[in-house]
Amino acid sequence: MLPTKRRMFNHSRFYFRIRCSLWLLYGGVLKVRTKKLSTKGIALMGILMGLQLIFTRFLAIETPIVRVSFTFIATVIMAMIFGPLLTGVCSTLSDFIGIMLFPKTAPYFPGFSLSAFITGIIYGVFFYKKEMSLKRVIIANLIVNIVVDICMNTLWLYMIMGPAAIAQFPVRLIKICILFPIRVAIMFALGNQGLLKQQVIRFQQ
């Protein structure tokens, strides 16, 4: 029983460190960035965070093994407008608010908030004030799939579920491969939609 207790204690410290780091980062970045945002920008940020929450909590397709969500649509729009840091921070906050307001069977796990933050950072780096070329969209999604979906989320699931997470990994990998071209197509079409591009450029001026 001693190794089990030690592992639980280490997990508790790990959760605490991630949570503190995320909230310190959130406070520092948001304090600096919101000074540069207009009231319109803050309102738009709130709307996009609300869309993230809706896509994640209400419009996701869930099974006992896999979960399909279109949260990336709101995240990409946010990345195009606000850049990597604010997108990462707001995605983290949206994930936290969602689990607090609409809790499900699993308790809050800060690792997935970190995944949301890294996803927002990656999309912001690739899409903020840049042309949404097909090559750029493919590379961004490859990085998110490998770094976040395959590596980070698998680690979080293993910490929560143990060896069962490894048994589920092939199914998750198939899901990632199937959804990859769908996500690329949606992002490419969204990023090159004329009206949205005009609004993004106008907002950034």
pLDDT in tens, 99-135: 888 877 667 788 888 999 999 999 999 999 888 899 9
Residue 75 pLDDT more than 80? Answer: yes
163: exposed, middle or buried (C-beta count within 10 Å: 0-12, 13-18, 19+)? exposed
pLDDT in tens, 153-179: 999 999 988 898 899 899 999 999 999
Domain 2-204 class in CATH:
mainly alpha
pLDDT in tens, 52-62: 999 988 888 87
The pLDDT of residue 21 is 52
Q: Domain-by-domain residue ranges, the chain?
A: 2-204
Cα separations (Å) of 198 from 75, 76, 77, 147, 202? 18, 15, 13, 32, 6
User: What proportion of the chain, given as a percentage, has pLDDT over 70?
Assistant: 79
Residue 133 and residue 121: Cα distance in Å, rounded?
Answer: 18
